[in-house]
């Protein structure tokens, strides 16, 4: 992985343009205050240019996923790497869309979906860490359905309390517990929630969590077209605009991006999986203190700082 010359200047110029776009957006649309979105994207994009840090991210993921037989992480080669050149061991595999084009067997596709789900969410629920970029070019698929992770520039470390908030929101949607939902959103970093704002946020949350709420095999968007997400987003946007808007917390940005990106992957795979059971297998023994302990040890061993 070789970085183009003067990428830092290019990224800084792009960020200035993005800042201007957000400022213009705020003049005409009050639904979303992008202040924290800009801060989060700025920090993560700058980190992606630090290949020394990315090499440490690889070591971190090799440790977190060491017991996952269906997931492969390359090994960095320090003697052939610099701050702008990252050398890793080679992993054979095919791009996801190539794999989908040649594989009709639903069981094989389901196996890939299972491995992708665990590649993203074992680190999150066990360590409070997530890969923020499930772009199609960041992994390949082996013939046996196992997954090669290839890019580790965009990694987000969360406070363990945030992981608890994600689980609490799920439980709140399961039981229609509005007080728990408010507590969960506040743990995420949302502020000044009233009844109507809670309802608006829950529209989006119910869309994201829907596959996890029923104990049965189903596609990731059962009975819905790929346009349904855009319809839901439009509805939420309209409600937020009517209510005066909301400022999403920084933690929301990559968590949402990962969920939407993985949903797209599962749609490409046409996977039919019991997402409920996959999720419950991950959270069954959740212990916030244990996550904090594992996270601290893993970050220290890999030399990765906690996210600001």
Domain extents for the chain? 1-308
Confidence of residue 260 (pLDDT cuts 50, 70, 90): very high
Confidence of residue 225 (pLDDT cuts 50, 70, 90): low
- pLDDT for the residue numbered 112: 98
Report the largest interatomic distance among the alpha carbons of the chain, rounded to a whole angstrom: 57
In this predicted structure, the answer to whether residue 226 has a pLDDT above a threshold of 80 is no
- pLDDT for the residue numbered 257: 94
- pLDDT for the residue numbered 290: 98
Separation of alpha carbons 294 and 304, rounded Å: 13
Model pTM? 0.95
Q: Are 129 and 162 in contact (CB under 8 A)?
A: no
- pLDDT for the residue numbered 278: 98
Separation of alpha carbons 179 and 27, rounded Å: 33
Separation of alpha carbons 198 and 67, rounded Å: 39
Confidence of residue 7 (pLDDT cuts 50, 70, 90): very high
Separation of alpha carbons 29 and 51, rounded Å: 37
Of 200, 244, 232, 188, the residue nearest 33 (C-alpha)? 244
Confidence of residue 228 (pLDDT cuts 50, 70, 90): confident
The mean pLDDT value of the chain amounts to: 95
Residue 149: beta bridge partners?
A: 139
Confidence of residue 265 (pLDDT cuts 50, 70, 90): very high
Of 237, 187, 259, 254, the residue nearest 32 (C-alpha)? 237
Q: Are 40 and 256 in contact (CB under 8 A)?
A: no
**Alpha carbon distances (Å) from 105 to 99, 109, 110, 147:** 11, 7, 9, 17
Buried/exposed code over 277-297 (b: 16+ C-beta within 10 A; e: otherwise): ebbeebeeeeeeeebbebbee
Over range 157-168, report the average pLDDT: 98
Residue 97 buriedness (CB in 10 A; 0-12 / 13-18 / 19+)? exposed
In this predicted structure, the answer to whether residue 308 has a pLDDT above a threshold of 60 is no
The token pair that represents 27 in the structure block: 């003049």
In this predicted structure, the answer to whether residue 291 has a pLDDT above a threshold of 90 is yes
């Amino acid at each position: 992985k070789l970085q183009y010359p003067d990428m830092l200047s290019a990224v800084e110029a792009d960020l200035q343009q993005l800042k201007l776009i957000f400022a213009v957006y705020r003049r005409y649309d009050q639904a979303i205050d992008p202040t924290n979105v800009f801060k989060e994207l700025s920090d993560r994009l700058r980190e992606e240019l630090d290949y020394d840090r990315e090499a440490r991210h690889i070591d971190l993921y090799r440790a977190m996923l060491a017991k996952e037989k269906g997931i492969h992480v390359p090994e960095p080669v320090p003697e052939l790497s610099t701050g702008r050149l990252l050398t890793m061991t080679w992993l054979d595999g095919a791009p996801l869309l190539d794999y989908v084009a040649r594989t009709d067997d639903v069981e094989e596709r389901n196996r890939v979906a299972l491995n992708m789900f665990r590649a993203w969410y074992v680190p999150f629920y066990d360590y409070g860490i997530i890969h923020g970029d499930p772009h199609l070019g960041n992994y390949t698929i082996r013939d046996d359905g196992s997954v090669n992770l290839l890019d580790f520039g965009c990694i987000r470390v969360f406070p363990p309390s945030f992981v608890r908030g994600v689980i609490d929101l799920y439980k709140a949607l399961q039981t229609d517990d509005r007080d728990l939902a408010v507590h969960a959103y506040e743990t995420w970093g949302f502020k000044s929630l009233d009844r109507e704002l809670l309802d608006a946020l829950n529209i989006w949350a119910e869309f994201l969590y829907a596959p996890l709420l029923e104990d049965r095999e189903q596609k990731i968007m059962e009975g819905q077209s790929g346009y349904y997400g855009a319809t839901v987003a439009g509805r939420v946007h309209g409600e937020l605009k009517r209510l005066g808007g909301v400022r999403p917390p920084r933690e929301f940005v990559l968590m949402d991006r990962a969920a939407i990106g993985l949903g797209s992957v599962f749609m490409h795979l046409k996977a039919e999986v019991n997402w409920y059971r996959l999720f419950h297998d991950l959270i069954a023994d959740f212990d916030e203190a244990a996550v904090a302990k594992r996270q601290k040890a893993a970050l220290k061993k890999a030399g990765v700082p906690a996210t600001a």
